[in-house]
Structure 1
Amino acid sequence: MYRRTFLATGAALALSRPALAAGTALRIGLITPPAHQWSKSAQGLADRLAAKSGGAVTLTVLPAGQLGSETQMLQQLQTGALDMAFLTIGEFANRDADFGALLAPCLVKDIPGARALLAKPTAGELLDKTRALGLVGLGFGLAGMRQTLLRKPAATVADLAGRKIRALPLPQEMDFWTRIGATPTPLPLPALYDALSNGQIDGMQIDFEGTWNSRYFELAQEMLASNHMIFPMVAVASARRWKVLPDDTRTLLTAEVQSALSEILNAYDGLDAAYRGQIEATGFPVHTVGADFFGPAIEGWYETWRVKTPILTKLEADAGRA
């Protein structure tokens, strides 16, 4: 009851906030820690909004899940209690399987391929689907390509049989790991360090940035540089808040969010290489593997999900895979 009252009150306060002439105070929520590129770019967005509006538009950045989980933040966006958020693709794939098509294994080979894919019309169709959730989709970002971190080395995909690999609780991800013989094991991000340390999981799919910043490699024996999946982010605004903002504020926000997303999309070319280099500099083994490492499981995955989510075929065409 308290939570429902809080959200309702927050929505009322949000809708009564003054317009640009008297100053517009906005908030953006993220689950990433302050050191993560998404959080850094969000702070850069806040700085530019303040500078370009002469201080009339302020944006408070709330990283590291200060406002709760992404599910909770989405609810706050829907009521108008939160203005903006950078949300992972998982929060949308849980509500519309079409978003999960972006998690197709080996859909693109690298960050430039991912960046190009997210600029294509099919990704735009997915962005438009955020309207049904009471959101305004402002664009896509991404994190680094997904790699495979293991407590014990794996020379072939057969060596992953039965191993517990942390994955997001999304049907597309779970199906991928199941098909290669592993046991997908959903766990929340804050639990990963201890789970890897005590053997609750045998590995995880993770990017180089998260591996370095959280020191996961100190608990493992090998990293497969597999680049097997992209991990998009969706920048959204609350539709309730958006419709009461002045036109010039919306114009400014749209332009500056696009600038922040471009910064993120371009950053990971260098970030993936830099973080991989830092990990390897410690002497930790990182071995590059291609799509062939995963064997026929990938094509089996596509055969199934083209039927379940036909938009996948369009994404394949956009990616040059078809």
Structure 2
Amino acid sequence: MKTISKALAGAALVVASALPALAEEFRLGLITPPPHIWTKAAEAFGADLAEASGGAHSVTVFPARQLGNEAEMLQQLQTGALDMAFMTVAEVSNRATDFGALYAPFLANDIAHAGRILRSDTAKAMLAQLPATAGVVGTGYGMAGLRQIVSSKPITSVEDLAGLKLRITPFEANLDFYNAIGAAPTPMPLPDVYDALANGQVDAIDMDSELIWLLKYYEFSETVLQSDHMMFPMVGLVSGRVWAGLSEEDRSMIGELMARHVDSTIDTYIEKDPIWLEQVRDTGRTYVEVDEDFFADAVAEWNGIWSERAPSLDALRKVAAETAN
């Protein structure tokens, strides 16, 4: 928490030149649907903020892309048109390239290890970049489950993924990984994925276990690869312009409460990710567990690209090694 407090204090200095009006009714955007863990965390944050502020502040949560996709919401945060967001680090990494380091293939050994990495001082210190690079203040990390692959075609080796139209979340670190494999990465918003699998618009998807199970993507699978190949972090964000108009007391209250609630998602996924994977396995689909060796030279190719683009990568690898057990 000390690392977050220092980052938030620095963020206030960076954005102090902005001149917004003080907002008491905050708007918080997400791309996740209402039942999603991130949305529930956002709603709990709003309730706690209202209580802690004695009713002075309230938060209206807009889930399911009601305010636009993440790129659009990030632009709104930069202008002050949107106050807050719980957003994938994927979108942030499109503006602040160093955050691509958090998507290093096989950086985490399992879901609990991913949580330890995100809770490290090294990961938290990266948030100090955001006011200058993206015009937002990062309060802390949450996450979704590790990434898996669901394919409508049989997959017995990495060569079987070559040329497949594979739905991805559009960010460079992910594109580079699937290009290295030889797949045809196909960016697509989440609401379109089910129909795209059903009608053959895509052959495979990159997804976490929660949505594979709850949205029944497994129904169109010939093979489910439990690869656990990437973390998928989330970050709590406040508009830099809005932050500059807050009192020191409100900055502290909002920053600490938001950090607590995004962090709570880590414990939820550590508990539930293995359960969802087991439920998918029990559907009787072809279920294959693979490791880094399955992806042949793709991991080394990704590392070669991102070792120069993401200065924090070496430090995160050190943290990963120190927290592996």
TM-score, normalised to structure 1, is 0.88
Structure 1 residue 44 and structure 2 residue 44: aligned? yes
Using the alignment, how far apart are the partners of 1:312 and 1:42 within structure 2? Answer: 29
Q: Residues 218-277 of structure 1: CA distance to partner in whole angstroms, max 9, x if unpaired?
A: 111221111000111111101211122233322221221122022111111112122223
Partner of 1:147: 148
Q: Residue 111 of structure 1 aligns with which residue?
A: 111
Structure-2 change in CA distance of 1:135 and 1:182 (3 Å): same
The 5 A counterparts of 1:210-225 are 210-225=211-226
- Worse overlay, 124-133 or 222-231: 124-133
Give the Cα–Cα distance (whole angstroms) in 2 for the partners of residues 150 and 295 of structure 1.
Answer: 19
**92-101 vs 142-151, which deviates more?**
92-101
* 1:305 match: 306
Kept in 1: contact 2:20–2:244 (CA 8 A): no
Alignment-mate amino acid for residue 195 of structure 2: D
The aligned counterpart of 2:315 is 314
Mapping 1:17-28, distance limit 5 Å: 17=22, 24-28=24-28
Change (3 A) 1:309 1:246: closer
Aligned residue number for residue 89 of structure 2? 89
Q: 1:179-218 counterparts in 2 under 5 A? A: 179-218=180-219
Superposition deviation, residue 127 in structure 1: 0.9
> What letter is aligned with 2:104?
A
CA distance in 2, matches of 1:178, 1:72: 26
Aligned pairs (5 A) from 1:122-161: 122-132=122-132, 133-161=134-162
Give, as a single letter, the amino acid of the residue that structure 2 aligns with 1:76. Answer: Q
1:15: Cα distance to partner?
3.6
After superposition, the CA RMSD in angstroms is 2.0
- Equivalences, count: 304
Q: Which moved more, 1:35-44 or 1:163-172?
A: 163-172
Deviation per residue, 1:74-116 (Å, 9 max, x gap): 1221222211101111222212321112111111111222112
**Greater relative contact order structure (CA < 8 Å, 6+ sep):** 2
CA distance in 1, matches of 2:121, 2:71: 27
> How far apart, CA to CA, are the structure 1 residues paired with 2:240 and 2:305?
34
Structure-to-structure mapping, 1:207-246, within 5 angstroms: 207-246=208-247
1:283 maps to which residue?
284
Give the Cα–Cα distance (whole angstroms) in 1 for the partners of residues 135 and 182 of structure 2.
39
Q: Which amino acid aligns with 1:31?
A: I
SS at match of 1:320: helix
Which TM-score applies when normalising by structure 2?
0.87
Which residue identity is paired with 2:208? D
The code of the aligned residue for 1:100 comes to G
Measure how far apart 1:289 and its partner are.
1.4
SS across alignment from 1:229: coil
Tell me the distance in 2 between the aligned counterparts of 1:242 and 1:288.
45
2:67 matched to which residue of 1?
67
Q: Which amino acid letter does the alignment assign opposite residue 43 of structure 1?
A: E
Moved more, 210-219 or 114-123: 114-123
Q: Which residue of 2 aligns with 1:57?
A: 57
Letter in 2 for 1:182: A
Deviation per CA, 1:100-157: give whole Å up to 9, x if none.
1211111111122211212234323421111112211101111110001110221111
> Deviation at 1:49?
1.6
TM-superposed CA distance for 1:17, in Å, is 4.4
**Matched residue type, 2:276:** Y
Instruction: Tell me the amino acid that sits aligned with residue 154 of structure 1.
Output: I
Amino acid at match of 1:66: Q
Amino acid paired to 2:44:
G
Contact kept? 2:22, 2:245, Cα under 8 Å: no
Determine the structure 1 residue equivalent to 2:174.
173
Question: Per-residue displacement from partner, 1:136-179 (whole Å, max 9, x unpaired)?
Answer: 11011111100011102211112212212112332321221122
Q: Structure 1 residues 245, 96: CA separation in 2 closer, same or farther (over 3 Å shift)? A: closer
Tell me which moved more, 308-317 or 125-134: 308-317
Q: Distance in 2 between matches of 1:263 and 1:125?
A: 19
Change (3 A) 1:297 1:16: closer
* Counterparts in 2 of 1:262 and 1:172: CA distance versus 1, 3 Å: closer
Identity of aligned residues (%): 43
Q: What code does the residue aligned with 1:47 have?
A: A
* In structure 2, C-alpha distance between the alignment counterparts of 1:176 and 1:17, rounded to whole Å: 43
